Structure 1
Amino acid sequence: MNDFRSDNTCPVAPAILEDLQKVLAGGRTAYAEDEITAKVQDKLRVIFECDLEFFPIFTGTAANALAISQISGRFGEVICHRNSHIFVDECGAVEFHSSARLRPVAGQQGKLALEDLPELLDDGDVHRGKPTVLSLSQSTETGIAYRSEEIALLTGKAKDAGLRVHMDGTRFANALAFTGASPADLSWRSGVDVLCLGATKGGAIGAEAVIFFSKADALEFRRTMKRAGHLGARMWFLSAQIDAWLANDFWLQSAGHANAMAALLGKALRDSGMEPLYPVEANMVFVEMTRDQSDALRNRGFLHYFIKQPDGRNAARFVTSHDTGGSEIEALALAIGAM
């Protein structure tokens, strides 16, 4: 089988497993008060060039939901793209863990622009919620990366209206690898208040990082984690994965490789006369096809997701990872071209 369903269906990265073997031999202080978690926080402070607060989390859904609940306030509305993961694929987790509600809005190709944002200023109408958070996905659900200047425009409007900014960075590393920007430039320097940084899709067993760029925003977050059931005893197991993922820039190298494999697939498709639905920037390629074509491709061993797009078109989504090889891409391109 050639599995292109997601970058979380690939094998765990050997470099991470190797480092974990050394860590698992010993015991550690529980509840994220261990030296590995402290080490990762120091490492992230260097990477992001600021005095941030880091918390390891088990899942991306929990990271997004708890981070947003921390900054959304009472009666809050979370402005997000209608195709965002927090709206489409997280089963209302943000609303479950907070008093906020999601307010999805349209945006071209899965990306928000200034003209897509609704009125953000609170009009004082007690019959309505008030916008309190802007949530951006980096990279987007269509595999497109926000540039720092685009983020700054969006966050500038949000901050002028008193909103906080959350970034779902499950593929943040892929955006870094594509744009060449620094982690700081794609986050806090562009106005992001809290980043949910994903390591799982980058080759970890299962580990995410919630990063607050202000100590005030992070107050009592461990208590929030505890109440939600996400402050486990062996949090160091998550931190150790993130530590290994960051070591020697593996996180950027693995993301760069995944991006390169997606770009290779995009080029092969264009060479055969089939244009991907969206620009191939991160590690996802969308190809318009019918359900029958999709099923036929699966039957040939090329696993993928079949997803209706915001504009109504049906498409197969192919996701590459740190483990994807050029021969797999070549075989997939040939199979699609033969349909």
Structure 2
Amino acid sequence: MNFGSDNCGPAHPAVLDAVIKANSGYQASYGADTVMDGVRAQIREIFEAPEAAVYLVATGTAANSLALSCMAQPWDTVFCSEMAHIQRDECNAPEFYTGGAKLTLAGEGDKLTPEGLKTAITSWVKGDVHVSQRGPLALTQATENGRIYTVAEIEALTTVAKQYSLPTYMDGARFTNALVALGCTPAEMTWKAGVDAVSLGGSKNGCMGVEAVIFFDPSKAWEFELRRKRGAHLFSKHRYLSAQMQGYLTDDLWLATARMANARGAYLSNRLAEVEGANILYEPQVNMIFATLPRATHQKLHAAGAVYGLFEGPLDDGDPNEPLLMRLVCDWSISEAEIDQFIAAAK
């Protein structure tokens, strides 16, 4: 009964098999392996972007920080939501890798609006040497609250960014969960909607640890290569990153695992609604659920060995009826039987 994070689940056997297959003989190092040649071609085909620059790193923080460092000068500010992963969960890595670019929080909550973005952009006077200069827009898809931007919403936000000649980056740690929920194509959710660069997450969706960084403008390619090396994120035995991504993309495994995780999230949400005192905060759109349960119910779940995010407390002291906020995340491997066990413990 582990709903702690989709980071906590196992890697898919097909991904492990691909790594084992790659573990034979010799391959060129530092990304020059033949496996990477195939991965690059796969991703370009998937995104309908034959000229795209494609690179692999091991973590989402590296993907976000290195990509943004190619899109923002040290004196710029990056526009993002107050719930963005780059704001809440990356220990100032984007600021570090950009050489000092700050973050400007636009609007409230996890999703940006065109109006909120425009207000944030215009709050910095263009051409004033005393203030931060306007830099890229950063979107998180899906958001930290498990919600997704529709294609129309992405287009509306990138349109505002382009009015001020600003590029757009998409943090896609849960890119595929959002993609299958929308039922659109990768191109429709990215460059056709005005996105200039994106990360395609693998670590949360069945891989051991790999993220792709994709620049639809290949002019950023050499800079990214230099920054990746300088930032200590260029793997010498790169073929093991390549093999993971190859196994992930082959036979549409990346889509299948995301669909499974989303389906289990929907099943969990429906079952959780049966529990007395449960209050689900957002309509689940991907594989994350935010809800409140009474403290006494949380105590039962913890006693039964359930693992999940608990954001309020203390657990063992206080009104047993007080609602406490929780986050539940389903990965590709969680079963309906485990969800049923969780609900039985809550009841």
Please report the TM-score for the alignment, with normalisation by the length of structure 1: 0.93
**Corresponding position of 2:338:** 328
1:209-262 CA deviation, whole Å, 9 max, x = no partner? 111111112232111111000112111210110110011000000000000000
Name the structure 1 match of 2:106: 105
TM-superposed deviation, 1:272: 4.2
Distance 1:333 1:79 in 2: 40
**1:247 is aligned to 2:250:** yes
Deviation at 1:26, TM superposition (A): 2.3
Q: Which amino acid aligns with 1:23?
A: A
Deviations 1:25-71 (A, max 9, x none): 22210111111111111111110001211101011101100000011
Alignment of 1:1-339 (within 5 A): 2-50=1-49, 51-98=51-98, 99-108=100-109, 110-117=110-117, 118-121=119-122, 122-272=125-275, 274-289=278-293, 293-307=297-311, 314-336=324-346, 338=347
SS at match of 2:16: helix
Q: Using a 3 Å threshold, how does the CA distance of structure 1 residues 333 and 116 change in structure 2: closer, same or farther?
A: farther
Q: Deviations over 1:97-137 (max 9, x none)?
A: 113111123334x2111122234254322221022111110
Q: Which 5+ residue runs of structure 2 have no aligned equivalent? A: 313-322
Give runs of ≥4 in structure 1 deviating > 4 Å. Answer: 290-293
Q: Secondary structure at the match of 1:167?
A: strand
Give the whole-Å Cα distance in 2 for the aligned partners of 1:321 and 1:250. 14
Deviation digits for residues 134-191 of structure 1 (CA, Å, limit 9, x no counterpart): 1110100011111111000001101111111111100000001111010001111111
Structure 1: distance between partners of 2:34 and 2:295: 51
* 8 Å Cα contact 1:194/1:211 also seen in 2: yes
CA distance in 2, matches of 1:114, 1:291: 39
CA separation in 2, counterparts of 1:139 and 1:185?
A: 15
Which deviates more, 297-306 or 201-210? 297-306
* Structure 1 unaligned residues grouped into runs of 5+: none
Deviations 1:71-97 (A, max 9, x none): 112311011111111111100000011
How many Å separate the matches in 2 of 1:333 and 1:102?
A: 40
Distance 1:107 1:54 in 2: 33
Query: Which amino acid counterpart does residue 328 of structure 1 have in structure 2?
Result: E
The whole-number CA distance in structure 2 between the counterparts of 1:26 and 1:38 is: 17
Contact 1:107 / 1:113 at 8 angstroms: preserved in 2?
Answer: no
Q: Give the equivalent residue in structure 1 for 2:318.
A: none
Report deviation, 1:206. Answer: 0.7
2:171 and 2:294 map into 1 onto residues whose CA distance is 30
Q: TM-score, normalised by structure 2?
A: 0.91
Distance 2:72 2:215 in 1: 14
Taking the aligned partners of 2:144 and 2:38, their CA distance within structure 1 comes to 32
Give the C-alpha shift of residue 296 in structure 1: 4.3
Rounded Cα–Cα distance in structure 2 between residues aligned with 1:20 and 1:236: 8
Q: Partner letter of residue 241 of structure 2?
A: L
Greater displacement, 115-124 / 239-248: 115-124
Identity over aligned pairs, percent: 37
Structure 2 SS opposite 1:220: helix
- Cα distance between partner residues in 2 of 1:111 and 1:195: 17
Q: Which shows bigger deviation, 30-39 or 110-119? A: 110-119
Q: 8 Å contact 2:126–2:134 — kept in the other structure? A: no
Provide, for residues 259-297 of structure 1, a one-character-per-residue CA deviation record: whole Å limited to 9, x for no partner: 000001111123446341111011001111366654542
Structure 1 pair 24–4 and aligned structure 2 pair: CA distance change class (3 A): same
